[in-house]
Amino acid sequence: MIYAVGIGPGNRETMTYEAMSAFEESDVIVGYKTYIDLVKDLIKDKEVVSNGMKQEVDRVKKAIEISKTGKTVSVISSGDAGVYGMAGLILELSEDEEVRVISGVTASTAAAAVLGAPLMHDFCHISLSDLLTSLDLIYKRVALASEGDFVICIYNPRSKGRPDYLKDAFKIMKIHKSGSTPVGIVKNACRENQEVHICTIDTIDYETVDMLSIVIVGNSSTYIKNNKIITKRGYETKY
């Protein structure tokens, strides 16, 4: 049995009961070492197999191997295992092993809760990482999502290897979105060193954004009140 477990944004409080049950049932916990560290207090009595970034395929192969010996394995993802997480690769590479995906609070909605309520209306998720996706397609999505007045949640917004993608994405957004559109940046959402920045498309400081940040860009109904970002659902025009 393999559980693809989403541990949520990072502290025990934001985990689900189901994720904890999966750990309890598991003989072995497999994961990227940064995420293993986030739950190390919860898996003290378990065998742990961890490795580094970009070793996802290797990690899943190991989990499948262990499961073939009859052991129960949890492969952990931060956030939801099914959102840019490990669930897909496990299902792709497994043969007749039983696989169960355990949802968690995904990074965008955890960040949204910290910022206020930016995701009250139609929204999309775009990852700016071009490791597995062409940059052309990424920017095309940014353009179309902006044209559709979606709230946009940006995953993997900025890293040392790609310092300017976010700036370029914002240039594209500005074709359709006003410069005064609220923007929220949450670094390390729900973790010890959480940082929050509230700004606009025009006033964003790209240097405050790193790989561990989620950036949420509002739609035309988004506003800032008491330092919280709120996207109006439209009740005021209806009721």
Using CB under 8 A as the binding rule, the residues of this chain from 97 to 136 that contact a copy of itself are: 99, 101-106, 109-110, 112-114, 116-127, 131-133
Q: What is the distance between the alpha carbons of residues 38 and 58, in angstroms, rounded to a whole number?
A: 21
Question: By CB under 8 A, is residue 14 in contact with a copy of itself?
Answer: yes
Length reported for the chain: 239
CB atoms within 10 A of CB 50: 17
Is residue 206 within 8 Å of residue 166, measured between CB atoms?
yes
The side-by-side arrangement of strands in the sheet containing 228-231 is 116-117, 228-231, 222-225
Question: By CB under 8 A, is residue 8 in contact with a copy of itself?
Answer: yes
Q: Rounded to the nearest whole angstrom, what is the least distance from the CB of residue 33 to a copy of itself in the complex?
A: 19
Question: By CB under 8 A, is residue 84 in contact with a copy of itself?
Answer: yes
Question: By CB under 8 A, is residue 186 in contact with a copy of itself?
Answer: no
x-or-dash string of contact with a copy of itself, 29-68, rule CB under 8 A = -------------------------x-xx-----------
Question: By CB under 8 A, is residue 214 in contact with a copy of itself?
Answer: no
CB atoms within 10 A of CB 46: 16
Question: By CB under 8 A, is residue 196 in contact with a copy of itself?
Answer: no
Which residues, at least 6 apart from 36, have a Cβ–Cβ distance to it below 8 Å?
A: 29, 43, 48, 50, 76
Total number of residues that touch a copy of itself (CB under 8 A): 76
Question: By CB under 8 A, is residue 10 in contact with a copy of itself?
Answer: no
